[in-house]
Amino acid sequence: MFKKTKRRLVMLNALVFFILQNTFGVIIYVYTHYSLYHQVDQTIIEKKNHLLQEKGKIKDELSPEREENYRLVYLLWENNSKLYQVLPQDSLSKINPARFSQLLNTTGLQTTSIEEGSYRVLTMSVAEKKIYSPVKNIQIVYNLKRENEMLNRLLMVIGFGSFLSVFIALIAGIYLANKALIPIGVSWEKQQRFVADASHELRTPLSVVKLNLEHLFRHPDASIIQESETIHQVIREIDYMSKMTNDLLTLARSDSNQLQIIEKPVQVDEILNQVVKDFEVLAILKNIQITADISPIRMIGDRERLKQLFVILLDNAIKYTKENGSISVKSSVKNSRAIIHIIDNGIGIPRKDLPYIFDRYYRSDKSRTRHSEGSGLGLSIANWIIHAHSGKIHVTSTERKGTHVSVSLPITYKN
């Protein structure tokens, strides 16, 4: 199922990497091109300013002995675009200097290509200054051979890097796609397991209801008293399905962030005392002693969700505590956090099962029936409520000795 998604992720990630790598290469090339040409322009402008400032020594400035860098050439022009002199004299021996005459009427720095060479040219008029008769215009010509060779080598490196970036982008795309699909795959497996478990859980009570209703249909003359056990079993299964459906709806809403926590000041001790009181009757029926040591705690939270949390935890404690057992409920405040302990001496949880007790529908197969265990979603809901309140839960248990549940919730309340 994920193959098509994986291919799309690989192509998308590879495309992003390819674009980023090649964009970086283009930026390097453009910056290098600008830097090299800027340096050339600065050199030409410095030469121009030097010539204008040294009017009295213009002949000395233009003498062949003064210019040893044959990459920089001076073209001296008379009227009617007639070339007067080239300095240094042999610097343009491979091309016709007259080819530069077309730039005599231009202003500013110009780039021109002549034959296989590229040149940067600045034309300056000296006719009015009469600093070097009979010269009317001086062209400063800079040979861009080395700069272009450097740029060409850089372009080859970038081109090779661009070709190589295809493979790098594909490898990176595959790696990122695999990493991105890990949580998706885990979520998908959980969803599949959740749907399968929910279907299994609903199939059993539906089958029981169907069989019992068929039994009633086959005995139409029986009285309600005679079929009371059958009717009771149907009602029990319907109650079970109703509870599980509500739990499923709660978890589905929490997963989609539709279920919001209503934060208000609440008295946690009042909620705990009420929950303990509600379970006392059930505890008496199982001959279980409940002791409570509850300190006053005021915090910001959702009253209904906190009550649901304590009901789930205490209900589990009573379910898995045998007759003549005991349950202790304690609460206190420590470091601006509400600490609630629920301790029982029941059947405990095997060590191998502890990491999975908050997974939906996870059950230990030992000595537990479906009805004694409920819908299998209680601890998942409890875990969500605790995390929605930015709290923590810690469970320690020893098989056949009991379980200790510790809940820590931030108070986040100031008078």
The DSSP secondary structure of 360-385, one letter per residue, reads TT----SS--HHHHTTS-HHHHHHHH
Average pLDDT over residues 41-45: 89
Q: How far apart are CA 331 and CA 313, in angstroms?
A: 14
Distance, CA of 258 to CA of 260 (rounded, Å): 6
Give DSSP secondary structure letters for 73-138: EEEEEEGGGEEEEEESTTTTTTS-GGGGGGGTT--SEEEEEETTEEEEEEEEE-TTTTSSTT--EE
Least confident among 16-25, 183-192, 237-246, 321-330:
183-192
> Which domains, from first to last, does the chain contain?
1-193 (no CATH), 194-255 (1.10.287.130), 264-410 (3.30.565.10)
User: At CB < 8 A and 24+ separation, what contacts does 390-393 make?
Assistant: none
Partners of residue 73 on adjacent β-strands: 141
Element (H, E) at 269: helix 268-285
Closest CA to 106 of 125, 89, 88: 125
- Amino acid identity of 392? K
State pTM to two decimals: 0.53
Q: Kindly report the average pLDDT of the chain as a whole number.
A: 82
50 within 8 A of 61, measured Cβ to Cβ? yes
pLDDT tens readout for residues 245-296? 777 777 776 666 656 778 899 999 999 999 999 999 889 988 999 999 999 9
Tokens 């056949």 found at: 400
Q: What per-residue string of b and e applies to 381-395 under the rule 16 or more CB within 10 Å gives b? A: bbbbbbebbebebeb
Per-residue CA distances from 302 to 69, 260, 309, 338, 413 (Å): 84, 9, 11, 14, 13
CB atoms under 10 Å from CB of 204, counted, come to: 13
Beta-bridge partners for 343: 328, 404
Q: Compute the average pLDDT of residues 371-377.
A: 60
342: enclosing H helix or E strand: strand 337-344
Between 30-34, 99-103, 313-317, the lowest mean confidence (pLDDT) is in 99-103
Residue located via tokens 């009317």: 136
Using pLDDT thresholds of 50, 70 and 90, give the confidence band for residue 197: low
User: What's residue 239's pLDDT?
Assistant: 82
pLDDT at 201: 67
